């Protein structure tokens, strides 16, 4: 079965070697892995593995039966107006992705909670200035998006002793998490989020959901952690929100334009921490089994793992 990998900006050598090795070990002898754009006759291709594909190219494959994201997110796929209609889309759900994201969030939460951001600035100024410790109960965390990643982060933060609430599109709770849903409950949710974490999927409804109007509902001096997508944050609102004291700072892993342009004001801002979209990176070794499992399922007509609702966008 021919599979093409369409990911113009990534080193694909590890993916190819891991997928071929694991297929061999599983006794799958006919895996025919190709790399776009030199992927031979388009009619051979039955599955596409993609990350940031050029919009429209997926229509070139008349026998395509499945499109798999190479990550947890699928905004890069569902935002393509020319995505082939009848072809199912799947995403990756992976223990390593979940573990790494949880770790990054914990690090960002604890660095803020233990005032490492303040101490870093004080070190540069050679200022020895202990801060009054915060209590965890004074530092409730609000998580926007309670999917696989948001749920794992919520449970971990609860274990660390933080009060946690969650906001999602649909109704539905999680033990120990104060639940909010829908636009009506957003202000109340924000009002109790001393640390706000965005893990939403990016859809037309969530684009620019992190903006000055919403920041005004937060307790003053709240801290923002964005590990969703750059498009969630209305970037021009962040520094004004910090200047007004609505936010005390932010830790950002995702940006509207990536790589973040050299002249972007976030780079040099003392209260903004920038990381280069590394909170949770796909490990080919770890995700190859589910990709191969979906190939087998395609062959035998079984339901695919981790299907995406294209209309909903996640
Ligand atoms: C990374 O951003 C992913 O969606 O896996």
H, E, C per residue of the chain:
CEEEEECCCCCCHHHHHHHHHHHHHCCCCCCEEEECCCCCCHHHEEEEEECCCCCCHHHHCCCCCEEEECCCCCHHHHCCCCCCCCCCEECCCCHHHHHHHHHHHHHHHHHHHCCHHHHHHHHHCCCCCCCCCCCHHHCCEEEECCCHHHHHHHHHHHHCCCCEEEEECCCCCECCEEEEECHHHHHHHHHCCCEEEECCCCCCCCCCCECHHHHCCCCCCEEEEECCCHHHECHHHHHHHHHCCCEEEEEECCCCCCCCCCCCCCCCCCCEEECCCCCCCCCHHHHHHHHHHHHHHHHHCCCCCCECCCCCCC
Model pLDDT, residue 1: 78
pTM > 0.85: yes
Instruction: Report if residue 308 sits inside a domain.
Output: no
Model pLDDT, residue 9: 85
Give the tens place of pLDDT for each residue, 221-255: 999 999 999 999 999 999 999 999 999 999 999 99
**CATH number, residue 70:** 3.40.50.720
Q: State mean pLDDT over 1-19.
A: 95
Are 64 and 139 part of one and the same domain? Answer: no
Model pLDDT, residue 172: 76
Distance 73 CA to ligand 1 centre (A): 5
Distance 138 CA to ligand 1 centre (A): 31
Distance 220 CA to ligand 1 centre (A): 30
Are 50 and 90 part of one and the same domain? Answer: yes
Q: Whose CA is nearest to atom 4 of ligand 1?
A: 73
Say how many domains are in the chain.
2
Catalytic residues: 229, 277
Are 164 and 88 part of one and the same domain? Answer: no
State which of 198, 228, 277, 280 you would mutate to test the pocket of ligand 1, scoring each by most atoms of that ligand within 8 A of its C-beta. 280
Instruction: Report if residue 262 sits inside a domain.
Output: yes
Are 35 and 180 part of one and the same domain? Answer: no
Are 158 and 178 part of one and the same domain? Answer: yes
Give the tens place of pLDDT for each residue, 127-177: 999 999 999 999 999 999 999 999 999 999 999 999 999 999 888 778 999
Are 37 and 129 part of one and the same domain? Answer: no
pLDDT over 90 percentage in the chain? 96
Report the pocket of ligand 1 as residue ranges, CB < 6 Å: 71-73, 282
Are 17 and 133 part of one and the same domain? Answer: no
User: Which range marks the domain in which residue 51 is found?
Assistant: 2-94+282-300
State which of 15, 97, 198, 229 you would mutate to test the pocket of ligand 1, scoring each by most atoms of that ligand within 8 A of its C-beta. 97
């Amino acid at each position: 079965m021919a599979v093409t990998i369409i990911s113009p900006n990534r080193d694909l050598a590890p993916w190819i070697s891991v997928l071929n090795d694991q297929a061999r070990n599983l006794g799958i002898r006919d895996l025919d892995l190709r790399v776009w754009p030199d992927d031979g006759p388009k009619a051979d291709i039955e599955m596409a593995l993609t990350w940031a594909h050029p919009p429209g190219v997926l229509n070139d494959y008349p026998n395509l039966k499945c499109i798999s994201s190479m990550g947890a997110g699928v905004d890069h796929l569902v935002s393509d107006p020319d995505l082939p209609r009848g072809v199912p889309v799947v995403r990756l759900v992976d223990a390593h992705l979940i573990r790494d994201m949880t770790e990054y969030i914990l690090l960002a939460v604890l660095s803020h909670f233990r005032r490492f951001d303040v101490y870093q600035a004080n070190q540069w100024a050679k200022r020895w200035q202990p801060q009054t410790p915060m209590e965890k109960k004074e530092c409730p965390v609000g998580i926007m998006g309670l999917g696989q990643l948001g749920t794992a982060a919520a449970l971990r933060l609860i274990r660390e002793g933080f009060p946690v609430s969650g906001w999602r599109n649909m109704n539905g709770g999680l033990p120990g998490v104060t639940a909010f849903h829908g636009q009506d409950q957003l202000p109340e949710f924000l009002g109790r989020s001393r640390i706000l974490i965005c893990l939403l999927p990016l859809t037309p409804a969530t684009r620019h959901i992190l903006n000055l109007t919403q920041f005004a509902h937060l307790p003053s001096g709240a801290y923002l952690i964005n590990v969703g997508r750059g498009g969630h944050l209305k970037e021009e609102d962040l520094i004004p929100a910090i200047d007004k004291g609505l936010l005390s700072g932010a830790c950002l892993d995702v940006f509207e334009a990536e790589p973040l342009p050299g002249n972007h004001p976030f780079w040099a801002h003392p209260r903004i921490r920038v990381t280069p979209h590394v909170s949770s990176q796909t490990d080919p070794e770890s995700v190859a089994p589910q990709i191969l499992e979906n190939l087998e399922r395609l062959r035998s007509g079984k339901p695919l793992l981790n299907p995406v609702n294209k209309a909903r966008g996640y």
